[in-house]
Amino acid sequence: MNFRSLLFSLLLCLMSYLGMAHYLWIETPEIGKLNKSHQVKVYFGEYTYGAIEDPNSETFAGVKYFKLWVVSPSGQKEHIDVEAGENAFVGSFIPKEKGTYTVTMNNDEIPVIDYTQYDFGIFKTHYHATAKVVVGQQVLATQPTNSNGLALVNTTDQVARQNSEVSLQVYFKGEPFADQEVTIFVADLWSKKLESDETGTISFRLPWATTYTIETTYSEQVPGTYRGEDYEFVWHCATYAITL
């Protein structure tokens, strides 16, 4: 094998490995208006690397069967239909009442992945993402919407602004998750790791007017079978995004 062939093979392996590190996240304006259409976008990639996958691509095909919905301040759950846009799946909803809405994306319908060649094992993936939309003056926490895995709940009592502080609470199967590593990403390979406290909470400031994607992952060591394929554990990934 010549040098170019070797380099190409190594790049293919690296791209395949990085594909495992991709995540789904929601972007939507945090401030909504009563009775006005509110846009929601679902992305797949790695924001800090500038890697955002085309929703019509083969890479996105494996994770596109997600469910997207919104929970109103009064607890009403509404499905959000989406269609493929230029670099994300796009949908919308119309807020009918004032208060804090929780927008949620869930996807646990992903084929079993075998990454034994990367010493990671055979696993089933469960993605979950949330976002906050506030209509009116009252800002409350978002709802924990994942009783089967990880979720990030925004408990901040104000709308996000540059230099403001944000508090997120990590939940696992409906309970606060202490001592859990959470990573904050912005563009150009900047990241910061935090660890949740005894209540599952992390707090951080927003020093730049940019997009922040927050991710936490957990390997649940419970084997099983999905669509006839055995797996060794479930890889949970929860995200939250803030755009200023």
Q: Is 78 left (phi over 0), alpha (psi -120 to 50) or beta?
A: beta
Structural domain containing residue 119: 23-243
What is the pLDDT, as a whole number, of residue 10?
37
Nearest to 60 by CA among 21, 104, 19: 19
CA angle 185, 188, 194 (to 5 degrees): 25
In a domain, 7, yes or no: no
pLDDT at 2 over 80: no
pLDDT digits (tens, 9 = 90+) for 88-143: 999 999 999 999 999 999 999 999 999 999 889 999 999 999 999 999 999 999 99
Domain count across the chain = 1
* CATH assignment of the domain containing 196: 2.60.40.10
pTM > 0.85: yes or no:
yes
In a domain, 69, yes or no: yes
In a domain, 220, yes or no: yes
